[in-house]
């Protein structure tokens, strides 16, 4: 019995070639970091990563998942949506996330205390732009809807390599987009078009779209509907003349 179990154990272990931390290294190694990262609100619902001070051993209620493909943040509820949307719109499935939770420090806690007692936590504090909050993070792989995510690396791990830590710190320290910027860059990233830049919401709802005339001039024939923004423009541009579609 004991022999058989040992045999099974070895068999099960041998095909595994990479540990989670090695997988994390591989993910981080290939990352090209943008100057600006969205990490304040879910791009779909405004969920924030900020938490009140935690009770002992409690886990944070609020967290965000920074997509390591497009560096947009989504809440836990919207990670499946994000992977579905990007699977259609992009070449790669967005499945790796840096999950962050910002936890307000208890009032009496100070840096000196951390210096003496918790070396790992101190690193985390240094990565936070915010003196009033600790950032708890983990590198997670999304495996599909209703399947648990794989935690590849987390801020409380004892032996994070300096290269991995450096990359993660860069993401945490990167300039943060406010929500409006974030929304615009997301729109621009997947569907840039000149019409969206000066797009205005029509003031008279009953007159919103005239399907029979160019939105910018009087032409009523050879009209083109922009599939990005719904603009109707004349087709002169499509044959090389200055037009409006």
**121 contributes a contact to Zn ion by CB under 5 A:** no
User: Do 92 and 145 meet the contact criterion of CB atoms below 8 Å apart?
Assistant: no
Q: x/- string (CB under 5 A) for Zn ion, residues 214-233? A: x-xx-x------x-xx-x--
**78 contributes a contact to Zn ion by CB under 5 A:** yes
Nearest to Zn ion of 15, 240 (CB atom): 240
- The C-alpha atoms of residue 109 and residue 115 are separated, in whole angstroms, by 11
Cα–Cα distance list, 241 to 154, 194, 224, 227, 238 (Å): 56, 16, 14, 20, 7
Nearest to Zn ion of 136, 214 (CB atom): 214
Residues 189-208 that bind Zn ion (CB under 5 A): 193, 195
**75 contributes a contact to Zn ion by CB under 5 A:** yes
26-60 burial string, b = 16+ CB within 10 Å, else e? ebbeebeeeeebbbbbbbbeebebbbeebeeeeeb
- The C-alpha atoms of residue 136 and residue 161 are separated, in whole angstroms, by 17
Nearest to Zn ion of 108, 221 (CB atom): 221
Nearest to Zn ion of 105, 233 (CB atom): 233
Maximum distance among all alpha carbons in the chain?
87
Nearest to Zn ion of 77, 119 (CB atom): 77
The least CB distance from residue 42 to Zn ion, in Å, is 3
Query: What are the DSSP calls for 154-183, one per residue?
Result: ETT-S---HHHHHHHHHHHHSEEPPHHHHH
- Find the binder of Zn ion among 27, 28, 37, 42 (CB under 5 A): 42
Q: How many CB atoms lie within 10 A of CB 218?
A: 7
- Find the binder of Zn ion among 24, 66, 70, 79 (CB under 5 A): 70
- Find the binder of Zn ion among 33, 36, 44, 80 (CB under 5 A): 44
Q: Of 2-10, 122-130, 137-145, 213-221, which segment contacts Zn ion by CB under 5 A?
A: 213-221
Alpha carbon 63 to chain centroid, angstroms: 12
Q: Of 27-35, 40-48, 111-119, 122-130, which segment contacts Zn ion by CB under 5 A?
A: 40-48
* Three-state DSSP class for residue 31: coil
- Find the binder of Zn ion among 24, 67, 139, 172 (CB under 5 A): 67
Kindly give the interhelix angle for 20-29 and 162-173, rounded to the nearest 10 degrees: 50
Q: x/- string (CB under 5 A) for Zn ion, residues 88-107? A: ------x-------------
Nearest to Zn ion of 96, 127 (CB atom): 96
Nearest to Zn ion of 22, 145 (CB atom): 145
Looking only at the bridges linking them, the beta strands covering 73-74 and 96-104 are unpaired
Place of tokens 């003196």: 131
């Amino acid at each position: 019995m004991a022999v058989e179990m040992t045999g099974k154990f070895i068999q099960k272990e041998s095909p595994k070639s990479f540990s989670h931390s090695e997988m994390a290294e591989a993910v981080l190694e290939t990352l090209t970091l943008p100057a600006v990262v969205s990490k304040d609100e879910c791009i779909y619902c405004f969920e924030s990563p900020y938490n009140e001070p935690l009770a002992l051993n409690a886990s944070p209620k609020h967290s965000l998942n920074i997509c390591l493909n497009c560096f947009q943040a989504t809440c836990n509820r919207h990670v499946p949506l994000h992977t579905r949307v990007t699977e259609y719109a992009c070449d790669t499935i967005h499945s790796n996330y840096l999950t962050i939770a910002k936890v307000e420090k208890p009032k009496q806690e100070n840096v000196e205390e951390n210096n003496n007692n918790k070396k790992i936590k101190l690193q985390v504090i240094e990565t936070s732009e915010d003196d009033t909050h600790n950032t708890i993070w983990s590198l997670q792989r999304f495996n599909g809807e209703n399947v648990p995510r794989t935690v590849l690396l987390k801020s409380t791990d004892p032996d994070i390599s300096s290269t991995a830590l450096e990359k993660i710190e860069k993401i945490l320290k990167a300039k943060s987009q406010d929500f409006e910027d974030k929304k615009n860059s997301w729109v621009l990233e997947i569907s840039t078009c000149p019409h969206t830049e000066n797009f205005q919401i029509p003031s008279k709802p009953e007159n919103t779209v005239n399907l029979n005339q160019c939105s910018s001039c009087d032409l009523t024939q050879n009209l083109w509907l922009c599939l990005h923004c719904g603009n109707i423009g004349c087709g002169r541009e499509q044959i090389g003349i200055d037009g409006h579609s």
